[in-house]
Amino acid sequence: MTQTELTTTAAASAAEAPPPVRARRRFSRENVTRLLFVAPAALYLVLFFGYPVVKNITMSLQDYTTKTFFTGEAPWVGFANYQAVLSSNLFWPSMTNTALFTIGSIAGQFIIGLALACFFKRRFPLSNFLRSMLLLPWLLPLIVSSATWRSILEQDSGILNQFLGTFGIEPVPWLTSPAVALIAVVLVNIWVGIPFNVTILYGGLQDIPDELYEAGALDGATGWKAFRHITLPNLKPVISVVLVLGVVYTIKVLDIILGLTNGGPANATQTLSIRSYQESFINFEFGVGAAFSNILILISLVFAVIYLRANRRAVDE
Amino acid sequence: MKNRKLTTLAAMTAIAPFALTACGGGGGSATASGDVDTLTVVDYYNNEPDKTLVQEAIDRCATELSVTIERETVPGKDLIQKVLQRASSKTLPDVLMLDNPDVQEIAATGGLSPLSQYDVDTSGFAQGMLEAATYEGEVYGLAPTANTLGIFYNPELLEAAGVEPPQTWDELKAAAEQLTEGDQYGIAFSAIATYEGSWQFLPFMWSNGGEETDLTSPEVAEALALWKDLVSSGSASEAVINWSQADVKDQFVAGKAAMMVNGPWQIPALQENPDVQFASVQIPVNEDGQTSIAPLGGEVWTVPVTGDDAKQAKAAEFVECMSNDENQLALAEARYTVPTKTALAEEFVANVPEMESFTEQVANARSRTGQLGEEWPEAATTIYTAIQLALTGKAEPAEAFEQASAG
């Protein structure tokens, strides 16, 4: 037995390891091939991700205005743009709004998304059709949905207030009161984000083996208990991915807020991305705009790292 | 051998993007000799009917100058970005249309050439429009027509309520209150958090003697107090702070506002609804004896510096042609705007009587950038922020501008 084992191992290693001289040559050839496979992706990354990021960082250290486009001159100003950002009265309110917007949107999207995903796990007539209909908000161009929501939320003649009025509820100043506007914007963003959450979570649910539920049912774990002790633990890797990706997508949302309130009323819906957009493309202070967006990128980066780690853990598991 | 082939292939793939971009960038090089037979034009009249109406004027000038025009139209909100892009790639068009408050900003970059270089006659134009197109003493462009703001009202509703078109702020407030009933508001205006909101506020501020150079003056605060009164008394909807001027027009058309602050460019849309009755007066003033001063709107045609002298000279001729009497009258009549040559006013009003109040308004109108030049965007941001603060109750009208200018 030992003999045979030994021979097989030897045979295997002989088959695996080619003669030493040829090995070196093949190794270098392999290396070249590997490089060639990496090259297009690396080139793409450098061109379309590396360059913009580096450009954005240098821009944030320059006095970059309309003049720059004509003369090519953008004097270095050090951290003056960041100073302008941090000392602006809108910086902290927009930070808070970004946080509230992100947390509110993610919480809403996730809870409703998970509930719908669990609901669609059961098969019933038209369930597939209904589930695909859920994707609609995802398919609409954001500029269209925000224009539509803007008329739905209109204070005097919007359909939502008309509907609420039939229950005797006073018209809600959805987009015109600084106290309510952020909530309204969050609600619309939740609506936009639900399809993403449902799709990913539904996929995660499909991967949980039915046997677990059957075994759990024998032990008396049904309904809520089954959800807590079987669904949630098994869904954990997917949940962390959904949440972190959700944060990265939500924190930079621009078009919905621009379309609904443009940062108003009275700056109640100013977020970092709105500030960045307005500084760059309304005030033409591209340096300050870049500084705002770099802060945003930095925050996203933190979550991206969390995502990568969570992802690696998920793969390990 | 197989290996070498692979390497070559990879190298070619790597180089391809650069080679392609190199080809794409080479289109705009200047040739500075010979007759000019084509000019490129960029403007933002990308919607009908304006697109065709402006094309007719362009065609007339093309024939007159015997050149071919290659025209590109871009959406209004993208124009400046487009201009900046093309400036940095040195592919500016020969003729560029700009919204008048942007002219000084672009002229300050050195990207436009002054019309005095080409003996273009700039006399006879409305003073406000020339001011808008002037940077450091040089005129950089001409506008064939101008627009402004006024009060549109529904004559049937006013008659039924026994109300005369208002001429003072007190009359405006009284009329708006009387005309408010059910789901119909007395007046609608745009107080949105964009430059549109600032533009709508200017006539009230200017007519009362307020200046954009001193936004914390009592005259400016009084104008804001008027808007605040209109909203808090319920004569105007609280939703005005989220209405664009197009929304305001929709409210008026839907019969939800008896009066509105808006410009003559809305007239074609109003005429599309034959049930909608409308007439217009100038923006009311605070006290009798004040002159109603509204902001001047309209687009200026300019000659960017492209480095091709012959083409630039031809482009200047083209700009002059676009603003000649024939084109001014044709464009003004078709597009419900006002000729910028003051001598044409009488003939124009005779042809288009519904433009009478707007023509008077334009004669006294001011340009937004006349005083502040490139600094105007900052003031405009302060104005709309202050409006938003006051109308949402976050600041008193007297304090709103101070709070807003703190940034």
Q: In chain A, whose CA is at the least distance from the CA of B11?
A: A36
**Superfamily holding B36-146+297-364:** Periplasmic binding protein-like II (3.40.190.10)
Using a CB-CB cut-off of 8 Å, the residues of chain A touching B88 are 68-70, 72
> What are the residues of chain A with a beta carbon less than 8 Å away from any beta carbon of chain B?
29, 32-33, 36, 39-40, 43, 47, 66-72, 88-90, 150, 154-157, 173, 175-178, 261-268, 281-284
Q: In chain B, whose CA is at the least distance from the CA of A180?
A: B392
* Cis amide bond preceding B165, omega within 30: no
pLDDT < 70: residue spans in chain B: 1-34, 407
pLDDT above 80 (res A3): no
Give chain A's mean pLDDT: 86
Residue A165 covered by a domain: yes
- Minimal Cβ distance to A264: which of B87, B193, B407: B193
- DSSP for B25-88, written as a single string: HGGG----SS---EEEEEE---STTHHHHHHHHHHHHHHHHT-EEEEEE--GGGHHHHHHHHHH
Q: How many Å apart are CA A217 and CA A219, to the nearest integer?
A: 5
- At B17 the pLDDT is 44
State the pLDDT confidence band at A8, using cuts at 50, 70 and 90: very low
CB pair distance less than 8 Å for B392 and A178: yes
Residues A182-205: what's their mean pLDDT? 94
Q: How many CA atoms lie within 13 A of A172 on its CB side?
A: 19
CB pair distance less than 8 Å for A261 and B193: yes
Which structural domain range is residue A277 located in?
90-316
DSSP H or E run through B95: strand B95-99
By C-alpha distance, which of A65, A72, A67 is closest to B110?
A67
SS3 call for B293: coil
For the CA atoms of A117, A123, A129, A135, the dihedral, rounded to the nearest 10 degrees, stands at 10
CB pair distance less than 8 Å for B193 and A263: yes
What is the token pair recorded at A106?
Answer: 């993610």
Using a CB-CB cut-off of 8 Å, the residues of chain A touching B406 are 89
Which of A83-92, A278-287, B19-28, B163-172 is predicted with the least confidence, judged by mean pLDDT?
A: B19-28
CB pair distance less than 8 Å for B256 and A156: yes
CB pair distance less than 8 Å for A32 and B3: yes
- At B254 the pLDDT is 92
| B259 contacts B250 by C-beta, under 8 angstroms | no
Residue A245 covered by a domain: yes
| B204 contacts B187 by C-beta, under 8 angstroms | no
The answer, for B289 touching chain A at a CB cutoff of 8 Å, is no
B164 or A156, greater pLDDT = B164
Q: How many Å apart are CA B73 and CA B75, to the nearest integer?
A: 7
The answer, for B232 touching chain A at a CB cutoff of 8 Å, is no
Q: b/e per residue, B348-368, with b = 16+ CB within 10 A? A: bbeebeebbbbbbbbebbbbb
Handedness of CA B322, B326, B331, B336 (dihedral sign): positive
Residues A129-151: what's their mean pLDDT? 89
B150-295+372-405 domain in CATH 1.20.1630.10? Answer: no
For residue B192, the 8-state DSSP code is -
- DSSP for B108-125, written as a single string: TTT-B--GGGGT---TTB
CB pair distance less than 8 Å for B407 and A71: no
Q: How far is A281 from chain B (nearest CA, A)?
A: 8
* Residue B392 burial (CB count, 10 A): 23
Q: How many Å apart are CA A172 and CA A161, to the nearest integer?
A: 6
- At B296 the pLDDT is 93
Count structural domains, chain A: 1
Q: How many Å apart are CA A306 and CA B5, to the nearest integer?
A: 43
CB pair distance less than 8 Å for B109 and A69: yes
CB pair distance less than 8 Å for A283 and B381: yes
- At A316 the pLDDT is 63
- At A306 the pLDDT is 82
Q: Which of A66, A87, A154 to mutate to test the interface with B (most CBs of B within 10 A)?
A: A66
What's A267's domain CATH number? Answer: 1.10.3720.10
pLDDT above 80 (res A311): no
Using a CB-CB cut-off of 8 Å, the residues of chain B touching A176 are 238-239, 241-242, 392
Q: Which of B241, B251, B405 to mutate to test the interface with A (most CBs of A within 10 A)?
A: B241
- Minimal Cβ distance to A265: which of B6, B7, B242: B242
* Residue A51 burial (CB count, 10 A): 11
CB pair distance less than 8 Å for B193 and A283: no
Q: How far is B371 from chain A (nearest CA, A)?
A: 18
For chain A, strand residue ranges (E) read none
ipTM above 0.95, yes or no: no
- At B231 the pLDDT is 95
In this complex, how many residue pairs, one in chain A and one in chain B, have their CB atoms less than 8 Å apart?
108
State the pLDDT confidence band at A41, using cuts at 50, 70 and 90: very high
State the pLDDT confidence band at A11, using cuts at 50, 70 and 90: very low
Q: Which of B196, B248, B250, B392 to mutate to test the interface with A (most CBs of A within 10 A)?
A: B392
| B388 contacts A264 by C-beta, under 8 angstroms | yes
Delimiting residues of CATH 3.40.190.10 domain(s) in chain B: 36-146+297-364, 150-295+372-405
CB pair distance less than 8 Å for A67 and B394: no
Residue A177 covered by a domain: yes
B262: CB partners within 8 A, 6+ apart: B149, B150, B152, B245, B248, B249, B252
- Minimal Cβ distance to A264: which of B13, B242, B407: B242
- At B336 the pLDDT is 92
| B166 contacts B172 by C-beta, under 8 angstroms | yes
Q: Which of A68, A70, A151, A177 to mutate to test the interface with B (most CBs of B within 10 A)?
A: A70
